[in-house]
Every structure is written in structure tokens, then in C-alpha cells.
Amino acid sequence: MKTLTELLNKKLEAAFEKCGYSKELAIVTVSDRPDLCQFQCNGAFGGAKLYHKAPRMIAEDVAAVLREDEDLSKAEIAGAGFINIDISDKLLLGFIEQVYTDEKTGVPQAEKPETIVLDYGGPNVAKPLHIGHLRAAVIGEALKRLVRATGRKAIADVHLGDWGLQMGLVMAELEERHPDWECFGDSFDPENCGEFPLTVDEMNEVYPFASAKSKENEEFKEKAKDLTVKMQNGDPRYEYLGREITKISLPDIKKNYENLNVDFDYWYGESDASKYEAELVETLEKKGLLYESEGAMVVDVAKDDDKITVPPVIIKKSDGSSIYATTDLATIVQREKDFAPQGIWYVVDQRQGLHFTQVFRCAEKAGILGETIPEHLGFGTMNGTDGKPYKTRDGGVMKLELLYKTVYDAAMERVKESKFSAEEDKADVARKIAVATIKFGDLINHRAKDYIFDLDKFMAADGKTGSFLLYTVARINSILKKTDESGITAASGVFTDSERDLLLKIALSGEAYALAFKDRAPNIVCENAYQLASSFSKFYHDNHILTEEDEQKKNAWLRACVVLRKVLEKHLDILGIESVDLM
Ligand code: ARG
């Protein structure tokens, strides 16, 4: 369905045209002075230049037409020619009912079908997930849901890091420790062998050990590099090892994402793109883009007007190995073949900006993009209260699992005392609160900004927190449980200011979704959800819903509750947050 401002735009366009003015002037915006009016239009100023007329005269002409419209309760001129507009309660109520019955709950839908691949998550096999992976997961999941809510197709691909040096490090260390393992024997046949004996516990211990060792032991480092190249070049033994290490790593990676309600359509890794590397190299060669520089094969991607140096992108290193950019480019070839998308959105740390500039430019020059527009949607860092990247108490890197557990335990403390959930539901409720706390705390910030993870603040029952949103939904549930919900019908009037304010905010949610999509910014959905919840607090305080004796009023207020709950749930769904029944 159309948003409320789109609807008003149409009215204004008709009014401008009726007065003989261009309809291009009719741009309606939500008022930034809600104390004066709900909407405004400044088109008369543009018209003044076009028609050599005082803006006020143009505004008067248009407002006179608008005053005839029953859907508008006010069309006034302010200052030198601003048109201030209020809509009638009848229009507002009708619009709210439409949102309520709309299949898409008022989320504006894409005009034409579109497919967007979302590349988020990006965990690295054999290494534990840490808080650096949190934002990619949380923001990516919300963007995927937002894309889907707008009627577009979203394809989520985790893009596992399984093709880099960490694989060689783990392999080299295992080979030194376990020369007796079948996979390291001379007659090893990956097609016909016993089970790979590595345990999760050993794997978790091997990577940090091997990584530290490679910093002191040059020979070991060279060996790890060599095994990485062997894997990349299709040596069956090391390809096999790579696959097996990934298999052991995946359940743990998946568990971390499950905790957070994050999921993917494809669990592809960098390795899955390797079969497209040859094609990539051939295309680059055919176009004459690839050349040798210091033994490596590179492509120039600098532009004359670059403000910073954009170095050539390396496709093959001198030892024949692929790098991060190679796999990203080959993955573009793969995605074009598999999905032919209109967009690929990379939800990746913004410090990787230069990498994506290089990759996108190279892809463009190579002509492998089809009609795809790639976008790097970078994000900032999650810091601790000291302003530095969030750490464990002893200063170590904070693992994602530990972060989740810390928040879950705090949520459980609260739920334990609660009389609202049955003993057997407590773990589920605590999980939902934990997810809401982590995600809302993250998503309320524009993705590009750093933010401070402050558990007490994030858990607070009011303010811009997940708990506040969950409390709001739970409070509405509790009100509705005390009435016969099936008897609540569409409202026949708006009775109080706080009610009108709430209804208008609900009606304007469509603009928030649209802007969030346009800016790829879930924080706009968060902010709108918060605004709705705080309008509800005022509404609930001002209007004594359950004890109201006037049946019409009571019905209208209950209807507002019913519609708000649906709209809030839509917001939470887009954010990847589940609500709880009672809290
Ligand atoms: N594995 C990478 C890292 O940990 C992130 C991958 C992001 N996605 C991509 N297509 N480059 O930094």
C-alpha cells in the first residue's frame, strides 16, 4: 500500500495543478514542528521563482483547494508561504485500518522484482567467532529481513573464510603433532579413508597455538603458507583436510548464529568460489587487464581523481596463491551465474573499505557484474565502556559465545524472579530478552558508527532498549488478555491528543521502512519502534483504558492497542527480535 505522505502528495499535486501550477512543486513532508501541524509543503517558494509571484499568493491558491478536501482538517499558511496541513481523524482511522489489514502491514513494496544477495557473517573456519563478527551478523540479518519485508528477494550467504592462511596453519600444526594420522601417510586416499580424527576441542586449541608459533618460527610459517597454496591448487590431501576442518568448525559457528536468531540460505565458503577463479583470470587476461608486477599478477584500479592511493589489486601472489580479493571476485562470478542479482550487499567492517573499492572496480573493469550493483555496507566497532574494542575482563578478545552468555545470564537473573513465565518457559524468555538486548543495543546506532556496549544500559526497562520494546508488547498483551479481543472493532472516533499522536506515529511507520531501505539503515526501524513505544507509554498513562466507561472510547483505545501490537511486531520481526508474551 501507499504511505501516508505518498497519499497526501497525490492530493497536493492535484491541488497545485488545479491552480495552474506545476505538480512537481507538491512535495509533502512530515512536519518537523508537530506542535503546529502534522505535514507541511514548501512548494510555493519554488513556484514563486517559476511564476514570478509572491509565494504567499501561490500558497493561498493551493490552500483554498485543500480546504475543500474533507480528508484534511487544516490547510493553513504560515510565514511567507509555508502550507501547514493536518489530516482528518477519519482519514487517519481509515489509514490505520488499512495498515492493520494489509498483508504487508503497511511496508511499502518494491515496484519491480529484485534480487539482492546479502553477504554477511563472514566467520573464519577454525577460529572462534568473536565480537567483531557480531555486528555483521546482527546488521546483515536485519537488512535481509528488511529487503524481504519490502517484497524483494533476499539471498543470504555467510561467505565462510575457509581459503586463507589460517587453514594452512592448522594443517601444518596437525601434521607435526600427528604424523601417524592416516591423512598424513604416503598412501592416503581421500576417496577411501577412515574418519578424520580431529576433535572440536583440539581444533579450538590448535589455531591460536599455531598462529602464535608462526610468529616465532619462520620455517613453520613457510610450511603453513605452502600447505595453503597446496589446498588452493587442488592437492587432494589438503583439499580434503580443508573440507574436514570446515566440517568440524561449522556446528560451533552455526550454534553462535542460532543463539542470535541469525540464519543463512547458503553456507558457501571462499573455497566454493575457487572453481570460478580460472574463468576470472581468463576474463581479466582477455581484457588485457592482468599484468605481472614483482612476480604477482595484478590489475590496476586507480582512478585519476582518487583522493587516496588505490593500489593495484592482487589476483595471484608470486607463490601462485589466491588472496582475499581473488576469492571475492570469483564469488561475484559465482553469484552472477547462480542468482543474477540486482545487488550484492557486503555487510562487512568499514575498515575493509579499500578492499571493496578495489574489488568493485576490478569487477566493473572485467565486466563480470552484469546488472549487479555491489555495495559495501560498512559498520563501526563495538567498544567497551573504556572506548576501546570490547574485551574480556582479563583483556582478551571477547568471544561471541561468551558475550551472548553474559547477556543471557543477566536476562535469566531477571526472568528467574518473574511471576509471568512458567518454569519451563524461563530459558526461552531469557533467550529472547538476551537477543533483544544485544540486537537493539547494536541496531539503534547507525551501522557506520562505533558504539559502546554497556550491559546495564542495554538491559534497562526504559529508554532505547530491547527490553523497553518487549515490555511494551507484553503490556499490550496483558491489557488485551483482560478483555474480549474478538469484540474489538474499528474505532469510530479519535478521543484524545495522546491517542491521535499514537495513531499518527503508527500511520507514519511506512515512511520509516521506506527510508530504512533506501539508506540500508536498520537504525531507522529501531528509532521508529522506540518512538511508537514511547507514544504508547504516554497514551497508556493518559487514557485509562480498562476502567473507561464510555464504550466507544474504550473500544477505540483497545483498537489502537491491537493495531500497534501488530505494527510493533512487524518492526521487531524486521530487526530479527522475537517478542515475549508477558514480562
Ligand atoms: N572473513 C572475513 C573477515 O573475517 C569477512 C568476509 C566478508 N565478506 C566478504 N565477501 N569479503 O574479515
- Listing DSSP states for 535-550 in one string gives HHHHHHHHS-TTT---
| Per-residue pLDDT tens over the stretch 108-120 | 999 999 999 999 9
Give dist(CA 322, CA 314) in Å, integer: 8
Output the residue whose Cα is nearest ligand 1's atom 5: 122
Ligand 1 centroid from CA 159, angstroms: 7
Ligand 1 contact via 126 beta carbon (within 6 Å): no
Q: Residue 140 above 80 pLDDT? A: yes
SS3 553: helix
State whether the beta carbon of 328 lies less than 6 angstroms from ligand 1.
yes
**Coil/strand/helix, residue 132:** helix
**Closest by alpha carbon to 434, among 468, 457, 411, 453?**
411
The DSSP line for 293-304 is ETTEEEE----T
Residue with cell 509555508: 82
Using a 6 Å cutoff on CB, does residue 559 contact ligand 1?
Answer: no
Quote the distance between the C-alpha of residue 16 and its chain's center. 39
pLDDT tens for 160-191 read 999 999 999 999 999 999 999 999 999 999 99
Report DSSP state, residue 306: -
Residue 579: what residue type? S
Q: Are 527 and 462 in contact (CB under 8 A)?
A: no
Residues of the chain with CATH 3.30.1360.70: 4-87
Would the CA dihedral through 268, 270, 271, 274 be positive or negative? positive
Residues paired with residue 130 on neighbouring β-strands, in sequence order: 399
* pLDDT tens digits along 48-104: 999 999 999 999 999 999 999 999 999 999 999 999 999 999 999 999 999 999 999
- Ligand 1 and 141: CB distance under 6 A: no
How far apart (Å, rounded) are the C-alpha atoms in residues 276 and 331?
Answer: 7
118-379, CATH topology level: Rossmann fold (3.40.50)
How far apart are the CA of 446 and the centre of ligand 1, in A? 20
434 HSE (CA, 13 A, CB side): 25
Does 157 sit in the ligand 1 pocket, CB within 6 Å? no
Residue 124: strand pairing partners: 161
Determine if ligand 1 sits within 6 Å of the CB of residue 124: yes
Whether 580 lines ligand 1, by a CB cut-off of 6 Å, is no
What CATH code would you report for 400-575? Answer: 1.10.730.10
CB-side neighbour CA atoms (13 Å) of 528: 27
Does any ligand 1 atom lie closer than 6 A to the CB of residue 161? yes
At 339 the three-state DSSP class reads helix
**Would you state the pLDDT for residue 394?**
79
Which pLDDT score is estimated for 132? 84
> 260 in helix, strand or coil?
coil
Helices (H) and strands (E) in the chain, counts: 20, 13
Residue of minimum CA distance from atom 12 in ligand 1:
122
Question: In the chain, which residues fall in CATH 1.10.730.10?
Answer: 400-575
Question: What is the C-alpha to C-alpha distance for residues 120 and 117, in angstroms, rounded to an integer?
Answer: 10
Q: Decide: pTM greater than 0.75.
A: yes
CA atoms within 13 A on the CB side of 26: 24
pLDDT of res. 482: 96
Q: Going by CA atoms, what residue is nearest to atom 10 of ligand 1?
A: 328
Tens of pLDDT along 286-333? 999 999 999 999 999 999 999 999 999 999 999 888 999 999 999 999
Percent of the chain that is helix, strand, coil (3-state, to 5): 55, 10, 35
CB–CB of 378/448 below 8 Å?
yes
Distance 27 CA to ligand 1 centre (A): 42
Start-end of CATH 3.40.50.620 domains in the chain: 118-379
- Give me ligand 1 centre to Cα 160, in Å: 7
Top mutation candidate among 331, 352, 354 for ligand 1, by most atoms within 8 Å of CB: 352
Residue nearest to atom 6 of ligand 1 (CA): 122
Whether the CB-CB separation of 494 and 93 falls below 8 Å is answered with yes
pLDDT above 80 (res 392) = no
Measured from the Cβ of residue 186, the count of other Cβ atoms closer than 10 Å reads: 4
For ligand 1, the distance from its centroid to the CA atom of residue 161, given in whole angstroms, is 7
CATH superfamily of 4-87: Arginyl tRNA synthetase N-terminal domain (3.30.1360.70)
